[in-house]
C-alpha cells in the first residue's frame, strides 16, 4: 500500500473527537461546577480535542485551554454574577463553537448552555448534560416564582432534557426524580470526585491559622460556597447570636448576595474571604463545617471538608442525605432551627472522642468512595459512546 495512504489512515485514526464544554461560571470564581470542569479537562486532554465556552469573567486559561468567552450584561445578575448577554456577537461565537464540535457537554442549564443547546439541536450535534442542579428545584429555592412561571420553567426544562442524547447524574436518587418528570433520555450515573491529596487532614492546625490570620484559640465554624438565598445562610447568622464570641469564630469562604453579606457585618467574630483559590487551606484551619443549604446535589464543598477530616453539620438534602451518616461521619441539622444547630455544635465541642470519631470516619469515607480517576474514566467512556 502507498506510504501516503498509510500516513493518511494513521492521522485519521488518531483524530480526537471535538468536545465543547459549556458552563455559566468561570475563573476567578471557583465552585463545584468549575471544579468538575477543571478535573475533567486535566484527565481528558489526551482523549478529546477540548474547547471551552464560558462567560467573560476572565480570559485566563484553564488547564492550558484558552476559553471562548461571551459578553456579560451590566445589570442582570444571579449570585452577584453578571449574566451572559443576549447579543449577536455572543450568538455568533456560540454558533461557530457548536458547529466546530462533535459533542456538546453542558454543565447545568444556564444562559450559555441554553444558547449552545439551541445551536446543537439546529446542527444535529450530540448533546450531553451533567446535572449539578435540577432547574425546577433550583428555581423554586432561589427565585420567588409564581406557580404559573414555575410550571413553565419545569415544562421547558423537561422538553429540553428529552431532546438531549445523554444525561449524567451525580447520585442514584436522581433516576427517580427525572422519571417522575417524564425524562426519557438515556441517563447514566457518575459520581463527582474529590482530590484527596489536595484536600487532606493537616498535621498543624495552629500553623494553618497563623498563615491565614485566623484566631488560634477559638473554635472555627466554616461555610464554603456561594452567598445566595438557597444556601440558607440566615440559619448560621441566627445561630451565631447564641454562641460566645470569645470562644467561636465564623469563617465564610465565598461571595455573592450583598444582602446576605450584610447579615454578618455586625458580628466581630466573622471572617468573610470572598472567592479564593486555596479553599483547602481554610478547611484545614477549620474545626466544624456547616452546610445549611435548602437544596444541593452532591455538595463538593461538604465532601472536601470531610476529606480534610472536618466534622460536618448539614441539612438533609440532595446526595448529602446518602453519604452523611448521622453519628458516624457527621450530623444532620434542620433548615429552620438555629438553636438545634447550636446544640449540635456544642455536642462536638464538648465531646472530643465523638469529634475524633466523626473526623476519622469522614476522611475514610471520602477517600474510599469518591475517586476522580474512576469518575472521569466513566464520563469519558459515556461521551465517546455518543460518536
Residue pair 33/27 in contact (Cβ under 8 Å)? The answer is no
Q: What is the pLDDT of residue 2?
A: 57
Spatial neighbors of 271 by CB under 8 A, at least 6 apart, are 214, 249, 250, 251, 252
What is the architecture of the domain spanning 11-193+372-384?
3-Layer(aba) Sandwich (3.40)
| DSSP secondary structure letters along 70-101 | E-EEEEEEETTEEEEP-SHHHHHHHHHHHHT-
Write the CATH number of the domain with boundaries 205-369: 3.40.50.2000
Burial track 76-100 (b if 16+ CB lie within 10 A, e otherwise): eebbebbbbbeeeebeebbbebbee
Q: What pTM value is reported for the model? A: 0.82
Q: What is the pLDDT of residue 108?
A: 85
Closest CA to 178 of 236, 116, 134: 134
Residue 312 C-alpha cell reads as: 460536618
Ranges for all domains in the chain classified under CATH 3.40.50.2000: 11-193+372-384, 205-369
Residue in the block written with cell 431532546? 163
Q: What is the spatial distance between Cα 161 and Cα 158, in angstroms, rounded to a whole number?
A: 5
Closest CA to 362 of 333, 318, 323, 322: 323
Q: What is the pLDDT of residue 150?
A: 85
Q: What is the pLDDT of residue 29?
A: 80
To the nearest 10°, report the CA torsion of 207, 299, 262, 208: 0
pLDDT by position in tens, the chain (length 387): 555 554 554 444 568 999 999 999 899 887 888 989 999 999 999 999 999 999 999 999 999 999 999 999 987 776 567 889 999 999 999 999 999 999 999 998 888 999 999 999 999 999 999 998 888 777 776 677 788 888 898 999 999 999 999 999 998 888 999 999 999 999 999 988 999 999 999 999 999 999 999 999 999 999 999 898 899 999 999 999 999 999 999 999 999 889 999 999 889 999 999 989 899 999 999 999 999 999 888 999 999 999 999 999 999 998 999 999 999 999 999 999 999 999 999 999 999 999 999 999 999 999 999 988 889 999 999 999 999
Q: What is the pLDDT of residue 83?
A: 86
Amino acid at each position: 500500500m502507498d506510504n501516503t495512504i498509510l500516513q493518511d489512515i494513521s492521522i485519521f485514526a488518531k483524530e480526537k473527537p471535538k468536545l465543547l464544554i459549556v458552563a455559566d461560571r468561570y475563573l476567578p470564581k471557583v465552585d463545584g461546577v468549575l471544579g468538575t470542569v477543571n478535573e475533567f479537562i486535566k484527565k481528558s486532554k489526551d482523549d478529546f480535542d477540548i474547547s471551552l465556552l464560558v462567560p467573560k469573567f476572565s480570559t485566563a486559561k484553564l488547564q492550558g485551554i484558552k476559553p471562548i468567552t461571551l459578553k456579560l450584561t451590566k445589570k442582570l445578575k444571579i449570585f452577584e454574577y453578571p449574566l451572559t448577554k443576549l447579543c449577536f456577537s455572543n450568538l455568533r461565537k456560540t454558533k461557530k463553537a457548536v458547529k466546530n464540535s462533535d459533542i456538546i457537554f453542558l454543565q447545568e442549564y444556564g444562559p450559555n448552555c441554553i444558547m449552545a443547546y439551541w445551536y446543537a439541536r439546529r446542527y444535529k450535534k450530540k448533546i450531553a448534560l451533567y446535572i449539578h442542579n435540577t432547574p425546577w428545584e433550583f428555581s423554586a429555592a432561589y427565585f420567588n416564582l409564581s406557580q404559573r412561571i414555575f410550571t413553565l420553567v419545569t415544562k421547558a426544562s423537561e422538553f429540553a432534557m428529552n431532546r438531549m442524547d445523554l444525561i449524567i447524574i451525580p447520585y442514584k436518587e436522581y433516576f427517580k426524580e427525572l422519571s417522575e418528570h417524564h425524562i426519557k433520555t438515556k441517563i447514566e450515573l457518575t459520581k463527582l470526585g474529590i482530590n484527596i491529596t489536595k484536600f487532606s487532614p493537616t498535621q498543624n492546625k495552629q500553623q494553618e491559622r497563623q498563615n491565614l490570620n485566623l484566631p488560634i484559640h477559638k473554635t472555627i465554624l466554616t461555610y464554603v460556597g456561594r452567598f445566595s438565598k438557597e444556601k440558607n445562610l440566615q440559619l448560621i447568622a441566627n445561630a451565631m447570636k447564641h454562641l460566645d464570641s470569645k470562644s467561636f469564630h465564623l469563617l465564610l469562604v465565598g461571595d455573592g448576595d450583598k444582602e446576605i453579606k450584610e447579615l454578618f457585618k455586625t458580628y466581630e467574630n466573622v471572617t468573610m474571604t470572598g472567592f479564593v483559590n486555596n479553599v483547602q487551606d481554610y478547611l484545614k484551619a477549620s474545626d466544624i463545617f456547616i452546610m445549611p443549604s435548602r437544596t444541593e446535589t452532591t455538595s463538593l464543598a461538604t465532601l472536601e471538608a470531610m476529606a480534610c477530616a472536618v466534622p460536618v453539620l448539614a441539612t438533609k438534602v440532595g446526595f448529602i442525605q446518602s453519604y452523611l451518616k448521622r453519628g458516624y461521619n457527621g450530623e444532620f441539622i434542620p433548615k429552620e432551627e438555629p438553636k438545634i444547630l447550636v446544640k449540635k455544635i456544642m455536642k462536638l465541642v464538648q465531646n472530643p472522642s465523638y469529634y475524633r470519631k466523626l473526623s476519622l470516619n469522614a476522611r475514610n469515607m471520602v477517600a474510599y468512595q469518591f475517586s476522580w480517576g474512576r469518575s472521569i474514566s466513566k464520563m469519558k467512556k459515556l461521551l465517546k459512546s455518543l460518536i
